[in-house]
Chain A
Amino acid sequence: EDQVTQSPEALRLQEGESSSLNCSYTVSGLRGLFWYRQDPGKGPEFLFTLYSAGEEKEKERLKATLTKKESFLHITAPKPEDSATYLCAVQAIGTYKYIFGTGTRLKVLA
């Protein structure tokens, strides 16, 4: 069964303290892995798509990487405005479903 697990569930960082969020996935064949940011009361906002192991994408303080079993979202020198829930999702080859993890709630303290 296709599955996505994110860790940790919650993370508190001091401003400037870099860290990584983990997304472990199990799919029969990966079509794409997606990272989203979700602010309270809003819909998820798309950040990155990764397609194959070894691929990396960057946007401001965020960098996403992908291996055959997991993806990491690295946050470098975070700021309070980076506080949000970060969601990971996968789509498997041969399906039209997007499967989401339960997310990591990130709080960055000033």
Chain B
Amino acid sequence: EAQVTQNPRYLITVTGKKLTVTCSQNMNHEYMSWYRQDPGLGLRQIYYSMNVEVTDKGDVPEGYKVSRKEKRNFPLILESPSPNQTSLYFCASSLTGGYATSPLHFGNGTRLTVT
């Protein structure tokens, strides 16, 4: 089944404890991206990757890191989480983010709570 898989689905952590949220897609998509979703603010893009080894900042990149060493994986890293990073996170991928646009396919989300 074609899908974007995120893990974990739920995560509770404490301020300053490094964490990684994994994301994997099995559709051979070039483009991958991370979003956070907050009430009243909608989906905001954190980072995106046009293809392997190429990443760029979205609208809210502060406090996050990403890497794209393989086409299928795009982990989100919080080096020192803070309470304002408590949110619902989505990973998404699309066939291409280049000149020919295509829709994003989303994972089921990771609900992160930082205390």
Contacts and interface: CB of A to CB of B under 8 A. Distances in A.
Given A96-B31, A96-B97, A96-B98, A102 B42 contact: yes
Interface residues of B, number: 28
B101 A49 contact: yes
Interface in A17-63: 31-32, 34, 41-46, 49
A54 B4 CA distance: 32
Interface residues of A, number: 21
B27 to A, nearest CB: 12
Interface of A: 31-32, 34, 41-46, 49, 87, 89, 91, 96-103
Closest 10 CB pairs of A and B: A43-B106, A102-B42, A32-B101, A100-B43, A96-B97, A46-B103, A31-B101, A44-B106, A91-B101, A43-B108
